[in-house]
C-alpha cells in the first residue's frame, strides 16, 4: 500500500516539505498547550474540575419562550 502512495507522490516537486511542516505544526500546538496548562491558575483548575459534580446547574429548569 505504501509503495502506491510513494509512487504517486514521487512526481510532485517539493513534496518532501509537507511531512516536515506537519511535524512542526504538531509540536508548536503541543508545546503551546503545555505552556497554557502550566500557566493556568490553580483556582481556575479547581473550578473546572468541579464542573461535572456541580449540582446547581443541573437542578435549574430550562424554559423555552
The residues spanned by each domain of the chain are 15-52
pLDDT digits (tens, 9 = 90+) for 16-58: 888 899 999 999 999 999 999 999 999 988 888 888 776 665 5
Using alpha carbons, select from 22, 19, 18 the residue that is nearest to residue 30: 22
Residue 61 reports pLDDT greater than 90:
no
Contact residues for 9 (Cβ-Cβ < 8 A; gap 6+): 15
| Numbers of helices and strands, H then E, in the chain | 4, 0
Question: Would you say 33 and 26 are in contact if contact means Cβ atoms under 8 Å apart?
Answer: no
The whole-number pLDDT of residue 1 equals 59
More confident residue, 5 or 35: 35
The whole-number pLDDT of residue 10 equals 75
The whole-number pLDDT of residue 33 equals 96
Amino acid at each position: 500500500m505504501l509503495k502506491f502512495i510513494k509512487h504517486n507522490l514521487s512526481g510532485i516537486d517539493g513534496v518532501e516539505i509537507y511531512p516536515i511542516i506537519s511535524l512542526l505544526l504538531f509540536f508548536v500546538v503541543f508545546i503551546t498547550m503545555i505552556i497554557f496548562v502550566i500557566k493556568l491558575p490553580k483556582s481556575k483548575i479547581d473550578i473546572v474540575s468541579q464542573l461535572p459534580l456541580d449540582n446547581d446547574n443541573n437542578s435549574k429548569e430550562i424554559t423555552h419562550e
